[in-house]
Amino acid sequence: MKITWLGHSGFRIEIEGAVLLVDPWMTGNPMFPADRRDEAIRGATHILLTHGHGDHSGDVVAIAKDLGIPVVGIYDLVTWWQEKDGIEGIGFNKGGTVDLNGAKVTMVMATHSSSVSGEAGPVYTGTESGYMIAGEGHVIYLSGDTDIMADMGWMGEYHKPDIGILASGGHFTMDMKRAAFAARKYFDFRTVIPCHYRTFPLLEQSAEALRAGLPGVEVIDPEVLQPIEI
């Protein structure tokens, strides 16, 4: 398995027969080198989206059209794009599981908001979500943009993820201390990768508080386009 950070909350996850582009915001992302877009998306089989905000969905339709691959995510947003933009899509909802080339992806709860910009203001795009991604003997919990939730209790007990990709930059999501608390209380991770941080001065710039709060857990500071092999 390879997990490659694309900056902010974007990831390329190579698992089983799938190459998933998660929240691939590249255009305007100050952490992503624009001249490496083709490298980042090459060979992708699916786009996995947590919610509609532009810093997650901004490049989704363009990539889906360029590569001819489906967008996987909340039914409301995916079907809207299918009708409006003619892309391929796999729309589903909380509790549903889809098989993406051998990777089993289950949509789970998150607590945030979800919209895209419209001519008359924000357009509702269904609810925000997280995912459990199972394959190659591992389960990844992709939190999406969220705060701590009591739902994390049953999610950790039921799915038993050993890898956590946690939004932990603060202001819009959990910060590092809250993410560490959630990871300690609700999960038994071996590996944690923070995201949704370092992008802007408003967000946390260091994962040290996360690392300090998770003794015995491997906390990996990702670097853009440097694969993490697990």
Q: Which helix (H) or strand (E) holds 57?
A: helix 54-57
Give me the domain span that covers residue 72. 2-223
Q: Decide if pLDDT at 138 tops 90.
A: yes
230 found inside a domain: no
Q: What is the DSSP letter of 90?
A: E
Question: What is the token pair recorded at 2?
Answer: 């390879």
| pLDDT beyond 90 at 4 | yes
Gap between the Cα atoms of 144 and 166, Å rounded: 7
pTM for the whole structure: 0.97
Q: Which two tokens stand for residue 187?
A: 């999960």
For residue 16, being part of any structural domain is answered with yes
Residue 110 lies in a domain: yes
Per-residue confidence (pLDDT) for residue 33, from 0 to 100: 97
Residue 123 pLDDT: 83
Distances (CA, A) of 57 to 24, 51, 160, 187, 219: 7, 7, 28, 28, 26
Greatest CA separation found in the chain?
50
Decide if 35 is inside a domain. Answer: yes
Read off the pLDDT of each residue in 141-164 and give the average, rounded to a whole number. Answer: 98
Structure tokens belonging to residue 174: 């959990």
CA dist., res. 216 & res. 33, Å (int): 33
Average pLDDT, the chain: 97
Residue 161 lies in a domain: yes
Q: Is residue 149 part of a domain?
A: yes
Give the number of other Cβ atoms within 10 Å of residue 209's Cβ.
Answer: 18
Is residue 168 a contact partner of residue 207, using CB atoms and an 8 Å limit? Answer: yes
* Counted domains in the chain: 1
Q: What is the mean pLDDT of residues 125-146?
A: 97
Say if strands 97-100 and 103-108 run parallel, antiparallel, or are unpaired: antiparallel
- Domain of 160, CATH number, reads 3.60.15.10
Burial class (CB within 10 angstroms; exposed 0-12, middle 13-18, buried 19+) of 69: buried
**Confidence (pLDDT) at 116:** 86
Residue 228: inside a domain, yes or no? no
Does residue 229 belong to any structural domain of this protein?
no
Q: What is the pLDDT of residues 176-230, one digit of tens each?
A: 999 999 999 999 999 999 999 999 999 999 999 999 999 999 999 999 999 999 9
